[in-house]
C-alpha cells in the first residue's frame, strides 16, 4: 500500500472545503488541530509533510509560523498573502508559498468603496445624521481626482483599474518600472515624495519589508495636500502612527481609512478612534465571505502540483520578504 502524504490544516472552520481537498488530491491524508490543541502539539502528533495555515479565532494570529521549526515539514502554505509574520527559513529545507492574489479583488472592492465613501463625504453625513443636522456639503466627482497607488501588484493593479472606470487619474508607484496599461502615469518609488502633492488619495499596497516600514512618516505626510486622504489596507508597520495622528490633528491631511495597525486589536485608548475624518475597520478589508474556500482552492491546485512534481505557484523568497 502506498504511503499517503500527511497534511496538517490549521483552521477551525475547514469543513466547507475539506471535501474539495480530498477529491482534488486523493493521495493525501488531512489532519486538523483537535479542539483546544496547541499548534506545536498538533505538529508533534501528526508529523506532517505539508502545513496549510489560515487565520482563525481559535489560535493566536499566525500560529502556523511555528511549522517552520518542525523537521517533518517540507512545505508551508500561508493562507493569506503577507509573510512578514514568518521567521527566517532555509529555502533549501522548506518551501513556503502564499495565497497572494486570491483576495485581491475583495481588497480592491473595499479600497474603491472607501474612496467613494470619503469622496462623497459620507463620514461627515453620518455625523450630521447623529446630530440631526441637515446641511449640504460640497463635493467633486472622482473624475476630477488624482489617486496615487503605491505598489502595482495584484491588489494595486485592480484598485487602479476600478478607479479609472470612474474617471480618476491614477499614478502608480513601483520599485521596478515596466509597462502597465492600468495606470495613467507610472513613477519609481524613489520619486514618491514628488508625486504626493498632486494626489487627492494615497493608497498603500506594498508588502511589509524593511524597505517599506515607516514608509508613511512625518516627511511623507507633509508632502500630502491638506485635502488629501490616506488609505492603508497593507500593514500597520508601514505607517508612523504618531506622525499620522499629529498630521490629522493639525489638519495637514483631511482624513484616512485604516484597516491595519501596529497593535491589533486597536487599543480602546488609541487616538485614532476619535479623530475626525478617520474611518476604521478591524483588519478585514479582504475577508469577504468565502475567502477561506478561495484560498483553499488555490492551495488544492498547488497541492496537486506538489504531488505531481510540478512547480508550485506563489513561491516566497525569505530574502525579499514576499
Q: List residues with catalytic annotation.
A: 235, 264, 283
Give the separation between CA 264 and CA 93, rounded to whole angstroms: 32
Centroid of chain to Cα 228: 22
The contacts of residue 50 (CB under 8 Å, 6+ apart) are 5, 6, 7, 8, 28, 73, 74, 75, 76, 77, 303, 306
Cα 77–Cα 67–Cα 208 angle in degrees, nearest 5: 60
The contacts of residue 154 (CB under 8 Å, 6+ apart) are 100, 101, 104
Helices (H), 76-216: 104-119, 122-130, 154-165, 192-195
Is residue 164 within 8 Å of 156, Cβ to Cβ?
no
Instruction: Tell me the angle at which helices 104-119 and 122-130 cross, rounded to the nearest 10 degrees.
Output: 60
Amino acid at each position: 500500500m502506498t504511503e499517503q502524504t500527511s497534511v496538517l490544516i490549521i483552521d477551525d472552520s475547514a469543513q466547507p472545503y475539506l471535501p474539495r481537498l480530498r477529491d482534488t488530491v486523493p493521495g493525501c491524508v488531512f489532519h486538523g488541530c483537535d479542539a483546544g490543541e496547541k499548534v506545536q502539539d498538533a505538529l508533534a502528533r501528526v508529523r506532517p509533510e505539508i502545513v496549510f495555515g489560515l487565520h482563525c479565532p481559535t489560535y493566536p494570529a499566525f500560529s502556523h509560523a511555528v511549522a517552520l521549526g518542525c523537521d517533518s515539514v517540507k512545505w508551508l502554505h500561508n493562507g493569506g498573502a503577507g509573510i512578514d509574520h514568518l521567521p527566517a527559513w532555509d529555502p533549501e529545507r522548506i518551501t513556503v508559498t502564499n495565497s497572494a492574489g486570491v483576495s485581491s479583488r475583495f481588497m480592491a472592492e473595499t479600497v474603491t468603496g472607501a474612496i467613494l465613501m470619503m469622496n462623497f463625504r459620507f463620514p461627515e453625513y453620518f455625523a450630521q445624521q447623529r446630530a440631526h443636522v441637515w446641511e449640504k456639503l460640497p463635493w467633486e466627482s472622482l473624475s476630477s481626482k488624482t489617486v496615487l497607488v503605491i505598489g502595482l501588484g495584484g491588489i494595486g493593479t485592480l484598485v487602479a483599474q476600478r478607479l479609472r472606470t470612474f474617471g480618476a487619474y491614477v499614478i502608480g508607484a513601483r520599485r521596478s518600472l515596466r509597462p502597465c496599461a492600468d495606470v495613467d502615469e507610472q513613477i519609481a518609488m524613489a520619486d514618491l515624495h514628488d508625486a504626493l502633492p498632486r494626489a487627492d488619495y494615497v493608497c498603500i499596497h506594498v508588502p511589509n519589508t524593511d524597505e517599506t516600514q515607516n514608509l508613511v512618516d512625518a516627511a511623507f505626510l507633509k508632502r500630502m495636500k491638506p485635502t488629501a486622504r490616506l488609505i492603508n489596507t497593507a500593514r500597520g508597520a508601514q505607517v508612523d502612527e504618531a506622525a499620522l495622528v499629529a498630521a490629522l490633528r493639525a489638519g495637514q491631511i483631511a482624513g484616512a481609512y485604516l484597516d491595519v495597525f501596529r497593535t491589533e486589536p486597536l487599543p480602546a485608548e488609541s487616538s485614532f478612534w476619535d479623530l475626525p475624518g478617520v474611518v476604521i475597520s478591524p483588519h478585514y478589508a479582504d475577508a469577504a465571505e468565502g475567502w477561506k474556500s478561495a484560498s483553499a482552492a488555490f492551495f488544492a491546485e498547488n497541492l496537486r502540483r506538489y504531488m505531481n512534481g510540478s512547480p508550485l505557484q506563489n513561491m516566497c523568497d525569505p530574502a525579499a520578504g514576499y
